[in-house]
Structure 1
Amino acid sequence: MDESATKRILLLGKTGVGKSSLANTIFGDATFQINHPSGSKSHPSQAETRSVNGRGITLIDTPGFFDVGRSEEEMKPEIVRCMTECAPGPHALLVVLKVEKFTEQERAVISKIIESFSEDVLKYAAVVFTHGDQLSEGMKIEEYVGQSEGLSELVMKCGGRCHVVDNKYWKTDNEDDDYRSNRFQVAELINTVDEIVTQNDGGHYANEMLQEVERAIQEEEKRLVKSSGNASQDVIRKQAKNNVFKSRTEKSPRKWIKGLFGFAVIAAILAAVAVMLLKLKDGEVITEATVDEETITAPIIKVIEEVTEEVSEVSPSISTIVEVVEDIIQPIVEIPEIIEDYLDKSSDLFEKTFDPWNNFE
């Protein structure tokens, strides 16, 4: 199947709303795992491609990214997996909810979705309700939505797009009521995806992270083409995604430093190095003895610890930061000539900009 013509659809929602079952309903088979291992909080991201009503569709089923109590560290590998699977970006997002009372918990999930992506993401979204058997007899989903101010606001932000399925009771066609038929609802949903793509000029949703991941995948594809022989583009693309995922998760502290630490921490590291270099005594010979942990690592870590207290909500543990700093420092310790070069340049800059009336020393 031509991946360039395939529409990528991302399913989002808290654990237990029926995302995996909805994916199976759309595909018409049991492709996605429903009964997850006992005791597990969620399931790993899964992406599968099928032809649905003549369209190539890739569904990306996600774990409960927005569940209460899930730590960023716990979810990081799955977020990376999700980003690589839907790169360069989803053509449509399905916000999955149950036909039940729209509580503060559901509001919080929607807020987290917008916070994690952007307000613009709703231009590419539709709301899909599961457990359609809970609708009152003869009621359509639009009428149900109209009974809730919160749901009405959400659906309005999604361009008025909403659908309903029932993964348990609507598996067979209902001769007396076409509306309560998954076949009918899936056909309508696929039409809605077509409309979303058309309204967005054939494009897909993208943010900075997705763009960065796509660049990494394309670079990996170029590398694989040289050594893959006669492998198809689809096979190369799949392998490239897997390689990028492994690289991002195995080396995440280094590869994702900007996203995890924030610019404040990076600036602190650079500032600490600059101050340390300028404060080295004039004329001191740079050797391995002087370029040690006490001289370099300790003052940098001290600054990092101070800054991390202010950005603790978005920063990993101090131990993770220390590991990254050690990775940065080690090459400098091994090659002291680099420090000497930086010192010479810093000394020249100091002499040119020295102001005797300034208290800086």
Structure 2
Amino acid sequence: MASVSSAPEMGEVGQAASHEAQRLPELRIMLLGKRWTGKCVAGNIILGRETFQTKITTGECVKKQGEVAGRQVTVVNTPDWREHDSVQETPEQVKQEIVCSVTLCPPGPHALLLVIPVGSVSERERRSVQEHLELLSERVWRHTIVLFTWGERLGDTTIEQHIERGGEELQWLVEKCGNRYHVLNNRNRGDGTQVTELLDKIEEMMAENRGDVFLTEKREGETEGEMKIVGEMPMIYEPVEEIEEINIPVRRRRNSITAPPFMSGGAAAEGSPGETAAQPEASSSEEKTVERPGAP
């Protein structure tokens, strides 16, 4: 009996050591959600200080950093959308900011937190959440955790009971995120365990994704580890062409920058991936006249 009971203890020690070995020194997190969900409060709880302004609504992403539980943590808060708005009703600037937010934590965020306050979710809200998250791609769900705020409203109800009673719309969102969720008690901000448990869940999700961070663009034949963020593709040179008469190679250069469909019709935000790089001035060598052989 002694040998049987000692085996699980050794296993538990090994699992704990393995978890410590897998702990990431840095975590990059994005917060997404509609208006009045408590995203700023959630960011402050995660970082352990009042760094996001909770009474100001901005149409731009805000990035804050700090050390949490021995990790360097980056939190990017994205602009929120109105509660029932479809993605077509959301201003272009907000959509651009959501898409470009990924570039604020290169090479990509470890986790996206879909912030939802404890309460009911209507079908219009569910559809609005889906449309706005999928601005980043349909693969966004495998890197997303539902973060319930205002957990104190649950009272004696467990979060599992709340999800079960929350209706098909809430259950759909949780299932879409791989049944990954966490609760923050906004009033008990001094409880550090709710933050460390969230960071542990992010690392568990990372292990499920084989260490892949979220990136916004995947090209055919690439794995996620080889993907590039939109707007960070290098200058690409076209194949060398030859002028038949004088047989001098000429090289032309162009920018290869991919932008989301909704960004193609308007000007990109300042400093965004849609911004076109300045073209270099022509060198004097390109202006020289080349004489043909045998010319007088």
TM-score, with structure 1 as normaliser? 0.53
Q: Secondary structure at the match of 2:189?
A: coil
Q: Which residue of 1 aligns with 2:147?
A: 128
Would the alpha carbon gap of residues 184 and 143 (structure 1) be closer, same or farther in structure 2, given more than 3 Å must change?
A: farther
User: Which runs of at least 4 in structure 1 moved beyond 6 Å after TM superposition?
Assistant: 254-257
Q: Which residue of 2 aligns with 1:259?
A: 259
The number of aligned residues is 216
User: 2:162 pairs with 141, 144, 158, which one?
Assistant: 144
Report deviation, 1:113: 3.4
User: 1:86 pairs with 95, 105, 110, which one?
Assistant: 105
Report deviation, 1:57: 1.4
Worse overlay, 50-59 or 112-121: 112-121
CA contact (8 A) 2:102 2:215 kept: no
Alpha-carbon separation, structure 2, partners of 1:85 and 1:52: 19
Report deviation, 1:15: 1.7
User: 1:61 pairs with 69, 74, 77, which one?
Assistant: 77
Matches within 5 A, 1:180-195: 182-195=191-204
1 or 2, which has the higher strand percentage? 2
Query: Are 1:208 and 2:217 an aligned pair?
Result: yes
Deviations 1:115-173 (CA, angstroms, capped at 9, x unpaired)? 212332111111011111221x3212121111122222221222221111132x2234x
Would the alpha carbon gap of residues 66 and 29 (structure 1) be closer, same or farther in structure 2, given more than 3 Å must change?
A: same
Would the alpha carbon gap of residues 150 and 70 (structure 1) be closer, same or farther in structure 2, given more than 3 Å must change?
A: closer
Q: Percent identity?
A: 34
Q: Which residue of 2 aligns with 1:28?
A: 48
Any stretches of 5+ residues in structure 2 without a counterpart? 1-23, 219-227, 235-253, 268-277, 283-296
Query: Are 1:50 and 2:50 an aligned pair?
Result: no
User: 2:207 pairs with 198, 211, 231, which one?
Assistant: 198
Letter in 1 for 2:27: K
Query: Are 1:19 and 2:35 an aligned pair?
Result: no
Alpha-carbon separation, structure 1, partners of 2:51 and 2:139: 31
Letter in 1 for 2:46: I
Q: Secondary structure at the match of 1:64?
A: coil
1 or 2, which has the higher helix percentage? 1
Q: Secondary structure at the match of 2:67?
A: strand
Report deviation, 1:43: 4.4
Report deviation, 1:35: 1.5
Query: Are 1:316 and 2:281 an aligned pair?
Result: no
Q: Which protein is bigger by CA-based radius of gyration?
A: 1
Alpha-carbon separation, structure 1, partners of 2:264 and 2:214: 27
Alpha-carbon separation, structure 2, partners of 1:35 and 1:59: 18
Query: Are 1:165 and 2:181 an aligned pair?
Result: no
Would the alpha carbon gap of residues 102 and 256 (structure 1) be closer, same or farther in structure 2, given more than 3 Å must change?
A: farther
Alpha-carbon separation, structure 2, partners of 1:105 and 1:59: 28
Matches within 5 A, 1:96-115: 96-115=115-134
Letter in 1 for 2:50: A
TM-score, with structure 2 as normaliser? 0.63
Report deviation, 1:61: 0.7
Query: Are 1:70 and 2:90 an aligned pair?
Result: yes
Alpha-carbon separation, structure 1, partners of 2:266 and 2:230: 24
Q: Secondary structure at the match of 2:231?
A: helix
Would the alpha carbon gap of residues 76 and 145 (structure 1) be closer, same or farther in structure 2, given more than 3 Å must change?
A: closer
CA contact (8 A) 2:134 2:140 kept: no
